């Protein structure tokens, strides 16, 4: 079987400033890496012994990067459509999370990662706060491995009790198990999976727990990812300032949401080299706060986009790009109209959106040397969008076609590390098995939640009698 693939005759949006956009160009993949991007590579014989993918009528982009998703929640997709962030803690973390078995996590991570690939997301930061036993992280990683996605597995806490784990918690992630997972699955460098630590941070945990988790991550040389400045409580906790007080800020930390950061905290993040992940649909829908995309850019940061939870929002990057675009422009333009001034010159653009969803995401995930742009030498994480479809044709500006016109139905072909994972609009995976597993997990979890609720109600009734 050939280890060379030529994607021929597509419109290429490389996200590489030296290559730029090609109205019609070719992309050569060799041994899983991008070997060349140029017009008419066939004329140089690049198609010799190569599998040729005809990209005429397609837009070729780097794979999207989702920089923060609780993938384990795929098994309870849509369970909390009207939830606020306050509701989510009760309806998901205090109701379903304690009931998850390792098999449920495996099924959810397999199905959730395949969902990503189907939507053109080739890299995922799996914010996995479902490690109720040592078998849970093993199951999560197995699901990611089998799907074939590029991912940072971010080891998080258990979720067996809302009171124990989410408000001034005195329980740190188990260092011995974090080390075991690192040594078992991530001792080398260069595979599809890398590791991080998903930490709850100040306010959610005591200072001693916060210090211990940051110390553990730095001892193991793995990055950290933490939710900050969102919702009713975290927006008031000045979490970045607290981390600064503890002497823990650094370039190895991703700050998720950031909706209520003030100028001083933005400066602390930027000056420390931190990175930012924004989940705009969740933030506007669940009450986290306003998605701070342009605020991050104004402070010299490169924000990325993420899905967060499919319990409440769709799991694709097209939704996130549009949510970010609409929310940020609405705020800027409303402020201008109320002040009776012209529109600001620094409005978020469709072009910037695509960079945020690809190159910036790779930067935030710590993988910019491998993915995020169609650059020779990087791994071949490539997506072909069918621009012949009625929701995209006629194409005037290819970037706009991707960011504001396309949807998951246009994702025709997906390569991860040079391996074709979707072709002709169909995943090259046993989707029937994945669907059966995640549906079985859903059924068990719903039964268990109903049983637990009934038992609690009976107990309450008896106590009051």
**Mean pLDDT lowest among 87-101, 241-255, 278-292, 331-345:** 331-345
pLDDT range class, residue 199, cuts 50, 70, 90? very high
Same domain, 115 and 253: yes
Q: What is the CATH number of the domain that holds 242?
A: 3.20.20.140
Copy the structure tokens of residue 372: 């995020």
179 and 193 in one domain?
A: yes
| DSSP β-bridge partners for residue 305 | 278
Question: Last residue of some domain: 319, 334, 364?
Answer: 364
Q: Is residue 386 part of a domain?
A: yes
CA distance 318 to 239: 30
450 located within any domain: no
In a domain, 461, yes or no: no
Same domain for 55 and 80? no
pTM, 2 dp: 0.96
**Is residue 457 in a domain?**
no
Q: Are residues 415 and 336 in the same domain?
A: no
Task: Examine the domain organization and report whether 74 and 221 are in the same domain.
Answer: yes
Q: What is the DSSP string of 172-190?
A: ---HHHHHHHHHHH-SSSS
Angle at which helix 135-147 crosses helix 102-118, to 10 degrees, equals 30
Kindly report the number of other CB atoms within 10 A of residue 363's CB atom. Answer: 21
pLDDT at residue 456, rounded to an integer: 63
Number of domains in the chain: 2
What CATH number corresponds to the domain at position 414? 2.30.40.10
Place of tokens 């000056």: 271
157 and 34 in one domain? no
Residues 313 and 325 in one domain: yes
Last-in-domain residue among 364, 387, 405: 364
In sequence order, the β-bridge partners of residue 66 are 124
> How crowded is residue 157: how many other Cβ atoms within 10 Å of its Cβ?
25
In a domain, 465, yes or no: no
**Does residue 454 fall inside a structural domain?**
no
Longest dimension (CA), the chain: 85
Range of the domain at 119: 64-364
Q: Based on the domain organization, do 316 and 233 belong to the same domain?
A: yes
For 266-329, the DSSP string reads HHHHHHHT-EEEE-HHHHHHHTS----HHHHHHTT---EE--B-TTTS-SSHHHHHHHHHHHHH
What CA–CA distances, in Å, run from 318 to 171, 324, 362, 410, 462?
Answer: 37, 10, 17, 11, 50
Residue 438 in domain: no
- Dump pLDDT digits (tens) for 67-104: 999 999 999 999 999 999 999 999 999 999 999 999 99
Say yes or no: 185 and 90 in one domain.
yes
Quick: pLDDT tens for 393-403: 999 999 999 99
> Are 74 and 107 in a shared domain?
yes
Look at residue 452 and tell me if it is in a domain.
Answer: no
How far is the C-alpha of 398 from the C-alpha of 296, rounded, in Å? 26
Query: Which residues contact residue 74 at a Cβ distance below 8 angstroms, ignoring those fewer than 6 apart?
Result: 108, 109, 111, 112, 115, 310, 315, 438
Same domain, 344 and 399: no
Cα gap 67→307, rounded to integer Å: 8
Q: Which domain-ending residue is among 333, 364, 395? A: 364
The reply to whether 72 and 36 lie within a common domain is no
| Residue range 123-131: mean pLDDT, rounded | 98
> What is the rounded CA–CA span in Å between residue 317 and residue 349?
16
């Amino acid at each position: 079987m050939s280890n060379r693939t030529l994607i021929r005759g597509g419109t290429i949006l490389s996200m590489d400033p030296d290559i730029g956009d090609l109205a019609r160009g070719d992309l050569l993949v060799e041994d899983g890496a991008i070997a060349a991007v140029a017009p008419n590579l066939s004329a140089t014989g690049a198609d010799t012994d190569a599998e040729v993918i005809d990209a005429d009528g397609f837009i070729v982009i780097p794979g999207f990067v989702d920089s923060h998703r609780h993938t384990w929640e795929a098994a309870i997709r849509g369970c909390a459509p009207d939830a606020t962030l306050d509701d989510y803690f009760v309806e998901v973390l205090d109701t379903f999370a304690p009931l998850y078995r390792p098999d449920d996590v495996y099924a959810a991570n397999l199905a959730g990662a395949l969902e990503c690939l189907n939507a053109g997301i080739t890299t995922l930061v799996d914010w996995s706060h479902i490690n109720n036993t040592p078998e849970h992280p093993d199951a999560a990683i197995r699901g990611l491995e089998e799907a074939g996605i590029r991912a940072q597995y971010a080891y998080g806490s258990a979720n067996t009790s809302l009171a124990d784990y989410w408000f001034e918690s005195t329980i740190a992630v188990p260092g011995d198990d974090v080390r075991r997972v690192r040594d078992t699955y991530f001792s080398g460098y260069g595979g599809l999976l890398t590791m991080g630590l998903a930490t709850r941070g100040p306010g959610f945990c005591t200072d001693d727990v916060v210090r211990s988790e940051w110390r553990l991550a730095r001892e193991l040389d793995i990055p950290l990812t933490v939710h900050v400045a969102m919702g009713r409580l975290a927006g008031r906790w000045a979490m970045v300032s607290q981390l600064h007080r503890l002497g823990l800020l650094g370039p190895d930390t991703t700050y998720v949401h950031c909706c209520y950061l003030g100028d001083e905290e933005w400066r602390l993040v930027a000056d420390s080299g931190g990175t930012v992940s924004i989940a705009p649909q969740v933030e506007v829908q669940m009450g986290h706060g306003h998605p701070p995309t342009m605020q991050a850019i104004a402070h010299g940061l490169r924000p990325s986009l993420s899905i967060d939870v499919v319990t409440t929002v769709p799991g694709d990057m097209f939704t996130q790009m549009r949510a970010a675009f609409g929310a940020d422009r609405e705020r800027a333009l409303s402020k201008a109209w109320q002040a009776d001034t012209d529109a600001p010159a620094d409005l978020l653009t469709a072009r910037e959106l695509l960079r945020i969803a690809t190159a910036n995401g790779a930067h935030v995930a710590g993988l910019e040397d491998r993915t995020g742009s169609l650059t020779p030498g990087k791994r071949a994480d490539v997506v072909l969008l069918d621009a012949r479809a009625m929701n995209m044709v006629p194409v005037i500006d290819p970037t706009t076609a991707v960011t504001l016109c396309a949807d998951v139905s246009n994702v025709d072909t997906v390569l991860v590390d040079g391996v074709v994972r979707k072709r002709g609009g169909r995943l090259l995976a046993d989707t029937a098995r994945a669907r059966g597993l995640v549906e079985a997990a859903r059924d068990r979890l719903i039964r268990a939640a109903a049983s637990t609720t009934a038992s609690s109600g009976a107990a309450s009734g008896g106590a009051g009698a």
